[in-house]
């Protein structure tokens, strides 16, 4: 089946990192993509991401642009300007208020504006990711006009429910939209197997090899936190010092494009201090649910979030 191209337009509103991330996901999934960047889109890519040209943008989005075709925004005769060139639709991310106005009024003075006009007239999907604050009545009216004409207005307004610790946690691509392809499933499963085998073999270097350099380990609800490869090494060293015979007995596992979630029964002899719990010398058993978030671009786990009740460790 031939997949129709998605038009991705990047215009001069703040939020260039959203565009870079979106393009990275499209390119790494080999989604046919027609890329259009306005003059001010480039200005924002340079200012917010340090990316000056196609070559740098390509490198920042995974390096493989086999599915990406670049168009010059001044070329109003290029394929995206014509309704007969079939596309899956268009995303303008980020979308300046200037471009919102142009879309709302069908001005078509650049390839981006014309492509959006075509997408609307052909009743294809147009997604606008506007960024401006505060919004004037002009902005609001233009957004309403675009929405009335069929555009989806999707402001870059990330939720904070998952307590993001860094900007990259504000992933603009909703995790839920990731596809569970057999390849991704196998890759995540193999990574988890490598991680677990290293854990069983007390092979800390092997464990670290499955983690991104900025990985984070957390034990919740207490909130204890270890950062980076050095932090992950400390997490395991401290765990193995506290429970030299620690054993994870896997009860359940879910593998998906967001990572792995496992439920396990942990047993071990409490020989050293673990978090706030001094050694009891007792044989202990507790249940854990561990989430291993998987980084789509770097193809490794970004750490572990361990949910457990450690009150049984109290002396
Ligand atoms: C550093 C910088 C940041 C800007 N941020 C925004 C913004 O967040 N939202 C917006 O609507 N316009 C913003 N602008 C203004 C637009 O870039 C400007 O209106 C431009 O003409 C839009 O053209 P384009 O839509 O063809 O890219 C910004 C401009 C600069 C130079």
Q: Give the count of alpha carbons within 13 A of 151, CB side only.
A: 32
Q: How far is the CA of 13 from the centre of ligand 1 (A)?
A: 4
Question: Best of 37, 42, 96 to mutate for ligand 1, by most ligand atoms within 8 A of CB?
Answer: 96
Tokens of 38: 């306005």
What CATH number should be reported for the domain whose range is 181-313?
A: 3.10.450.50
pLDDT at 162: 56
Query: Vertex 171, ends 170 and 172: CA angle to 5°?
Result: 110
Ligand 1 closest atom vs CA 43: 31
* Residue 171 pLDDT exceeds 80: no
Residues in the chain: 315
By three-state DSSP, how is residue 19 classified? helix
Cα 274 to Cα 266: distance, rounded to the nearest angstrom: 14
- Integer Cα distance of 215 and 197 in angstroms: 19
φ, ψ of residue 268 in degrees (nearest 5) = 175, 170
**Mutate which of 8, 10, 39, 40 for ligand 1 pocket (most atoms within 8 A of beta carbon):** 40
For residue 281, what are its two tokens? 């010398």
* Tokens encoding 194: 């490598």
pLDDT digits (tens, 9 = 90+) for 215-235: 999 999 888 999 999 999 999
Rounded to an integer, what distance in angstroms lies between the CA atom of residue 307 and that of residue 238?
18
Determine the distance separating the centroid of ligand 1 and the alpha carbon of 99, expressed in angstroms.
9
pLDDT given for residue 297 in this prediction:
81
End-to-end CA distance of the chain: 63
- Residues with a CB atom less than 6 Å from ligand 1: 11-14, 38, 40-41, 43-44, 47, 96-99, 131-132
pLDDT digits (tens, 9 = 90+) for 42-79: 999 999 999 999 999 999 999 999 999 999 999 999 99
Nearest-CA neighbor of 219 among 276, 268, 300, 299? Answer: 276
Tell which one of 8, 13, 92, 134 to mutate to probe ligand 1, the residue whose CB is within 8 A of the most ligand atoms. Answer: 13
CA–centroid distance, 96 to ligand 1, in Å, is 5
Rounded to whole angstroms, how far apart are CA atoms 287 and 298?
30
Distance CA 96, CA 28 (A): 26
Note the pLDDT of residue 312: 82
Q: Which residues contact 271 (CB under 8 A, 6 or more apart)?
A: 241, 242, 243, 244, 279, 281
Domain limits, the chain = 6-157, 181-313
Give domain 6-157's CATH number out of 1.10.150.390, 2.40.160.40, 3.40.50.1950, 3.50.50.60: 3.40.50.1950
């Amino acid at each position: 089946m031939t997949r129709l191209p998605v038009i991705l337009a990047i215009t001069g509103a703040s939020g260039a990192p959203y565009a870079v991330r979106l393009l990275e996901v499209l390119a790494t999934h080999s989604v046919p993509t027609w890329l259009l960047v306005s003059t001010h889109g480039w200005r924002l890519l340079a200012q917010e991401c340090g990316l000056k040209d196609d070559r740098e943008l390509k490198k920042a989005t995974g390096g493989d642009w086999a599915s990406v075709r670049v168009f010059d925004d001044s070329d109003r005769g290029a394929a995206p300007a014509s309704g007969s060139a079939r596309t899956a639709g268009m995303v303008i991310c980020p979308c300046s208020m200037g471009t919102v106005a142009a879309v709302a009024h069908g001005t078509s003075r650049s390839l981006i504006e014309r492509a959006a006009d075509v997408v609307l007239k052909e009743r294809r999907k147009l997604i606008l990711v506007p960024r401006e604050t505060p919004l004037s009545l002009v902005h609001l009216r233009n957004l309403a006009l675009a929405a009335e004409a069929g555009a989806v207005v999707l402001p870059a307004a990330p939720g904070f429910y998952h307590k993001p610790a860094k900007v990259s946690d504000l992933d603009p691509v909703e995790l839920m939209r990731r596809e569970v392809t057999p390849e991704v499933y196998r890759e995540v499963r193999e990574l988890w197997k490598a991680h677990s085998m290293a854990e069983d073999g007390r092979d800390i270097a092997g464990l670290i090899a499955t983690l991104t350099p900025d990985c984070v380990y957390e034990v919740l609800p207490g909130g204890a936190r270890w950062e980076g490869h050095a932090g992950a090494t400390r997490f395991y060293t401290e765990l193995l010092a506290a429970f030299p015979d620690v054993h994870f007995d896997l009860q359940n596992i879910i593998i998906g494009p967001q990572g792995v979630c496992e439920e396990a029964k942990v047993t071990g002899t409490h020989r050293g201090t673990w978090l706030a719990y001094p050694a009891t010398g007792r044989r202990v058993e507790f249940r854990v649910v561990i989430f291993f978030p998987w980084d789509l671009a770097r193809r490794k786990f970004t750490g572990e979030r361990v949910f457990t009740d450690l009150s049984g460790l109290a002396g």
